[in-house]
Amino acid sequence: MQKTNKLPVIAALGVLVIGGAAAYRQHALTLRPRPPVAAPPRTASRPASPLPIPAAVQAQEAPLRAAVAAHPQALGPRWNLVAFYGQTGQGDKASEQVDAIDHLNPTDAANRMALANTRMLLHQYRRAEGDYRRVIARQPQSATAWQGLAATLFQQHHYLEAEQAAQKAVGLAPDNAGGHLILASSALEYALQFPESISRGSDLALAQSEYKKVLKVLPGNAHVYYEMGRAAYGLEDANAAAVDFHRSLQINPQQDIYWEAAQAYIKKNDRSGALALAEEGLKRFPNDASLHDLRGTLLQTGTAPDADAQALAEFQKAVGSAPNDARLQSHLGTAFLRTGNMAAAQTAFETAVRLDPNRPFDLQQLAGIYNRQGNPGRATEAAKLAKGMIFNSQQMQQIQSLLVVHPDSIPLHLILADRYRDLHLAGQARDEYLLVQRLDPSNARARQGLAALPASKKDASPPNPQ
């Protein structure tokens, strides 16, 4: 269950931070805890022009740059500049100094680790991955390097590889809570990226187990309870999911958790509890599109005499807050149909298809509307497309069910990987091909499939625990 692309609490591994002059003189950044800092939205855009630097900041910068100019081959002054730029939010300038340090001292392992940590903070995930791998090549027993590698792989959405790297880190440092946290987060995101997450039940169970270990170090942590709820829901244990989500909300009532907690209540047939959660969430977050949508769905299937009218009002609020969400447009279309407004329903369903052409339900509804309008050609075309999508979906579900019984079947994994690739689900396809390579390292089809995938996005910014 994923309302939004909710990413876990990787940064709590003993957070990678820029700071500590003594560490810079040793050409290495330290790993130390810091207060939680909200991560920037993944969709945040960089300002068109750099923000003006206050005069006081410029005054502090001048002697640091002078020290670099006086000793251009020395690493210490440059690390001091990196720290200063990191503290003042000047990431581009920090990156310039990091590249210069890399050029000056490319072989020192401690320096390479510091570069990797800094590049993680600068969101240069691929370069950070390369740095961590170079450290591991020279120091294969470095748990810190394996943790860093797991974190940067996670940031690139390579969850299976992140899980494997985190397992190595935990094996080398079993008492380090950060390793357990990365392992739990990677296993959870790996499993939940698949439409039938229960088919990755072993990974979900691993995530639950690892999060319980983290709670011994971070007791009462709202975000860890939230992630445990997601794992329980993926395992179809609605009661446990409801308990974990409730604990998370008691500690820190975050916006998205109301929706996910309500889903757990629905799954355990407690509609009144789900409706109460939706309404409580809307009191705190009145513009939350998914909570309006959820309340609309619960009202629409209720027994009130004006249920359809109440539901329509909620769906309209939902679409007003998130007009580019195909699911919300689809629900609005259904609500218009139930209230007899066929023209508005057609517009909503056509908008949903435009936003996401892989939803058979919307095409089925349009086929019925076109038939009523006396347009059998368009109706037939829509129905045909919907039928093909349903067939493909059923075929994928059958393959996933077979993989639960035969988890090491290379042909099944390859069929599924190819299908994910055709659907432009690059992350799922990549992990299936990687699984095949783990089962058969010389498999040419898996190698070719990986090569055919588009380059992955480099940015994903998991928040710290609240």
Please answer whether residues 126 and 132 qualify as being in contact, where contact means their C-beta atoms are separated by less than 8 angstroms: no
- Beta carbons within 10 angstroms of residue 424's beta carbon: 10
Contacts of 217 (CB under 8 A, 6+ apart): 177
The token duo for 359 is 């939803």
* Consecutive 10-residue averages of pLDDT for the chain (466 residues): 40 33 28 27 40 72 84 83 76 78 76 82 88 91 94 92 95 94 94 81 94 92 94 95 95 91 94 95 95 95 91 96 95 95 95 89 91 90 85 77 81 88 83 89 91 62 35
Burial level of 55, CB count in 10 A (0-12/13-18/19+)? exposed
Residue-level length of the chain: 466
Which sign, positive or negative, has the C-alpha torsion 49, 16, 205, 213? negative
Query: What is the structure's pLDDT at 230?
Result: 95
- Beta carbons within 10 angstroms of residue 273's beta carbon: 17
Which of the four CATH numbers 1.20.120.790, 2.60.40.790, 1.25.40.10, 1.10.150.130 does domain 1-34+64-194 have? Answer: 1.25.40.10
Contacts of 104 (CB under 8 A, 6+ apart): 73, 75, 78
Please answer whether residues 235 and 198 qualify as being in contact, where contact means their C-beta atoms are separated by less than 8 angstroms: yes
Please, which residues bridge with residue 16 across strands? 31
Burial level of 61, CB count in 10 A (0-12/13-18/19+)? middle
Rounded distance, CA 22 to CA 93, Å?
21
Q: Is 307 helix (H, G, I), strand (E, B) or coil?
A: helix
Q: How far apart are the first and last CA of the chain?
A: 21
Rounded distance, CA 341 to CA 174, Å?
61
Please answer whether residues 149 and 136 qualify as being in contact, where contact means their C-beta atoms are separated by less than 8 angstroms: yes
Contacts of 201 (CB under 8 A, 6+ apart): 191, 235, 404
Q: Is 71 helix (H, G, I), strand (E, B) or coil?
A: coil
Q: CA angle 370-375-381, nearest 5°?
A: 70
**100-132: burial string, b at 16+ Cβ within 10 Å, e else:** bbbeebeebbebbbbbbbbbbbbbbbebbbbbb
Ramachandran bin of 14, using left for φ above 0, alpha for ψ from -120 to 50, beta for the remaining angles: left
Rounded distance, CA 33 to CA 71, Å?
32
The token duo for 350 is 């056509």
Taking alpha carbons only, the member of 188, 283, 297 closest to residue 241 is: 188
Please answer whether residues 263 and 233 qualify as being in contact, where contact means their C-beta atoms are separated by less than 8 angstroms: yes
Query: What is the structure's pLDDT at 17?
Result: 28
Residue 137 to residues 80, 124, 130, 145: CA-CA distances in angstroms? 28, 20, 10, 10
Going by the DSSP 8-state scheme, the letter that residue 16 receives in this structure is: B
Residue 380 to residues 313, 344, 357, 373: CA-CA distances in angstroms? 32, 21, 16, 13
Taking alpha carbons only, the member of 314, 348, 318, 323 closest to residue 333 is: 348
Rounded distance, CA 29 to CA 342, Å?
63
Q: What is the CA radius of gyration of the chain?
A: 25
Q: What is the dihedral of CA 83, 88, 91, 96, to 10 degrees?
A: -50
